[in-house]
Chains A and B, each alone.
Chain A
Amino acid sequence: MNIFFLIILIFFSGAILSFIINKIAPKFSGITTFITIAVVVFLFFTQIEINSITQFSLGGIQMQFGVNNYTYIFAILVLGLSLLASLYSIKYMQNNDRLGYFYSNFILTVTGMLGIIFSRDFISFFIFWEIMTWSSYLIVLYNGKHSSKSGMKYMIFSAIGAYAMLTAIVSIKGSYGTFIISDAIQQGAFNFSENIYIPIMLLIGFAVKAALMPLHVWAPNAYSKSPMSFTSIFSGAMSKMGILGMGLVLASVYSQTTNDNTFSVLVLKQVLGWLGGITAVMATIYALIQTDAKKLLAYSSVAQLGYIIVGLSTGTKLGVMAALFLAVIHAVFKGALFMVAGAVEKQVGTTDMTKISGLIRKMPFTFFTALVSIIALAGIPPLGGFVGKWMLYEALITESNNYFLVIVIFFSSTAAFLYSYRFLFGLFLGQEEKETEHVKEAPVTMIIPMVILALILIVTGAYPGILFEPIAHGMHYLGFSDVNWDMSVLVNVWGEESNMAYINLSIGVVFVVVFLFLTIKGYKGTKNVGTKDISTSGEIPTENENLTFQLDFFKPFERAAAPLYKRSMDKIWNDLGNALEAIFDFTRRIYTGNGQTYALFVIIFLVILLIFKNTLFTN
């Protein structure tokens, strides 16, 4: 049997199986999910060879399955992350109800993502896209009635995106007579000189999943409301499906445009870039006023996706490379961070940072993961995040002369330090509360995935080349010639380089020296104290004195940046929604309920038709 069909089949049967098993023994539902995904991962990396195409036909439509170098990047990302997430969620979801529901949708979502990666034609692409969408929608609903509104928002926006995509797809069929993606690209379906609205429609469709302004409003709620073990792939992997599509479309748009309409492409670049930049800034400043860790992470996801889109919008070699690199890295650290939030939620019961603090001593491994991921998120060397950021800035400065966009990005990533610190402090540092004294470290099956992700971040920081290799192949597929990369040296087009090896060397040496110095010197004299043993400007605080500082964390910044907080996209969308509801309510008043009125309608209709019959019915 064909390997692609086999994988899809395994997934579907796994979904059904986990649903049924939950009825018998809820414990094993999660394990089934994990095994299913593990089997698929094994099959994928052993059986599938890249660039192999499988032809088949469904409903009279020619379809193709296959994996190419570009989608391979995302395949790694999706499979790895969902494997870890499913392992994580065994303990995390333990003793919830509706486990079968959750896990079957979990598998279906992964199926959708992998199917998107497999499909080389628009129809199967769309089918899997929709499967991914509605299964994830069902999981967003999972947490009960509080999340049904945000779930609806998510579904509506996804539908808008998906249908924009479908419009483009069918009109590609209409004008080029093919559903095969590569054929469509060769015939110039994404060529601005041929037609301008097909690529735009497709981009809109992908932008929704990639949470780009102004279509991002679903994201914060949907991310924060669904269970964390799912959000780690929701934000980590699924948003990258949008990036996948955008990358594909943009690459062919840029490569195929002829000279006579470079202007429209320029406009597209600027619009996309600025939208991405604004997304990054707004999401960041909204992230740093959140008090719920999950909400904070959700907003930060949106911001990070903004960077990625900026990178894609440049269309230059370094920019796209940065975007893809950031996409992978973001999947890793954001997956880890949501797992951290989930672990805290599982152990403490809430992620509201005004209620909990000082967990570092209770949950050291979780803290370690959080620390590493946050460093990567903030883009501080020597971790992977820095590599991506570096490439992004270099691309913006040196290749696409988009200087003020650089400032916007830099502003948002500087402000990102604020919420990064907010996250770490709010959950792990600060005073230790009485309420959280009983808290233990999360169970080991939750720790393992987190720590693995953290280690991945460290390694990719030291040797980004590990990721450059597949990315370079993928970019070659996208049509970028001679993408050169080195295991640990970053070079921009001006020849300036940033050598991670030296950086790591220097950091490592100093670290060892100073750490030993500090630890050994006066070791006996060093005594560890708790967080209550502090001197607030001289006097010793009493026992019941409140020393917790969590509320209005960045009030000064809020005051300073007040104008930025004034108008929010959500409000605009809500007004639009209310207006539509009013229209709907008005429309149904046509059916007055009086039989005579209906009869009158009939007669009027008849008369009108008879009057206009000669204009209406002529041959």
Chain B
Amino acid sequence: MQEEFNEIFLKYHEIITLGVYGTAIGLMLIGLYAILTKKNLVKIVIGLSIFDAGIHLLFVGIGYVKGGTAPIFSPGYENAGNRMVDPVPQALVLTAIVIGFAVTAVALSLVIRLYKHHNTAKIDQIKSLKW
């Protein structure tokens, strides 16, 4: 059962990798677009997290080794040291996700306060600090 899964997987490996990368880049671009063009603060925050998500996905994608297994020494995979997926990116991604979450939380709290303070969530109307 495991074997045939691998068979299928290896067959479509290229497409999948491409798909992962493409998605990642696409997410980043979408996030960037949202940040740069949307006027609403909440949308900008959402754009930020999309952007982060893209980067995280990229991380995971890069970590993958063709036909690799999970980086765990389990019965049946004692000699899998050379064909297991690189664990480091996944660890990093976990950290990055946590950080991104924290950032989003702070951002949203700021948005709330800005809305209270200015009675608007349009970023181009919140320009009391300039020049």
Chain B window 92-131, contacts with chain A (Cβ cutoff 8 Å), 1 for yes, 0 for no: 0000000000000000000000000000000110111111
Assuming A588-B131, A589-B131, is B123 touching A595 (CB within 8 A)?
yes
A176 to chain B minimum Cβ distance, whole angstroms, is: 46
Q: Is A603 an interface residue (CB 8 A)?
A: yes
Interface presence of A582 (CB below 8 A): no
Known: A596-B35, A603-B32, A603-B36. A591 touches B123 (CB 8 A): no
Q: Taking beta carbons and an 8 Å cutoff, which residues of A are in contact with B?
A: 588-589, 591-596, 599-600, 603
Measured between beta carbons, the chain A residues less than 8 angstroms from B32 are 603
Q: Are B36's CB and A594's CB within 8 A? A: no
A-facing residues in B23-73 (Cβ within 8 Å): 32, 35-36, 39, 44
Could you list 4 further interchain pairs (A-B, Cβ under 8 angstroms) beyond the known A593-B129, A599-B36? A591-B130, A592-B131, A593-B131, A599-B35
Interface residues of B (CB under 8 A from A): 32, 35-36, 39, 44, 123-124, 126-131
A600 to chain B: which residues have CB within 8 Å? 36
In the complex, the answer to whether A592 meets B123 with C-beta atoms within 8 Å is: no
Q: Kindly list chain A residues whose C-beta atoms are within 8 Å of the C-beta of B129.
A: 593
Contact of B130 among A593, A596, A603 (CB under 8 A): A593
CB distance from B113 to the nearest CB of A (A): 15
- CB pairs A–B below 8 angstroms (19 shown): A588-B131, A589-B131, A591-B130, A591-B131, A593-B129, A593-B130, A594-B123, A594-B124, A594-B127, A595-B44, A595-B123, A595-B126, A596-B36, A596-B39, A596-B124, A599-B35, A599-B36, A603-B32, A603-B36
Please indicate the chain B residues that have their CB under 8 angstroms from the CB of A596 in the complex.
35-36, 39, 44, 123-124
The 8 nearest A-B residue pairs measured at CB = A593-B130, A593-B127, A588-B131, A594-B124, A593-B129, A595-B123, A596-B123, A594-B127
What residues of A have a CB within 8 angstroms of the CB of B123 in the complex? 594-596
In the docked arrangement, what's the CA distance between A162 and B128, Å? 40
Q: Which residues of A contact B127 (CB under 8 A)?
A: 592-594
Q: Which residue of A lies closest to B124 (CB)?
A: A594
Taking the closest CB of chain A, its distance from the CB of B101, in whole angstroms, is 21
Residue with the highest number of chain A CB atoms closer than 10 Å, among B44, B126, B129, B130: B130
Q: Write the nearest CB–CB distance from A366 to chain B, whole angstroms.
A: 55
Q: Which residues of B contact A589 (CB under 8 A)?
A: 131
- A591 CA to B127 CA in the complex, in Å? 11
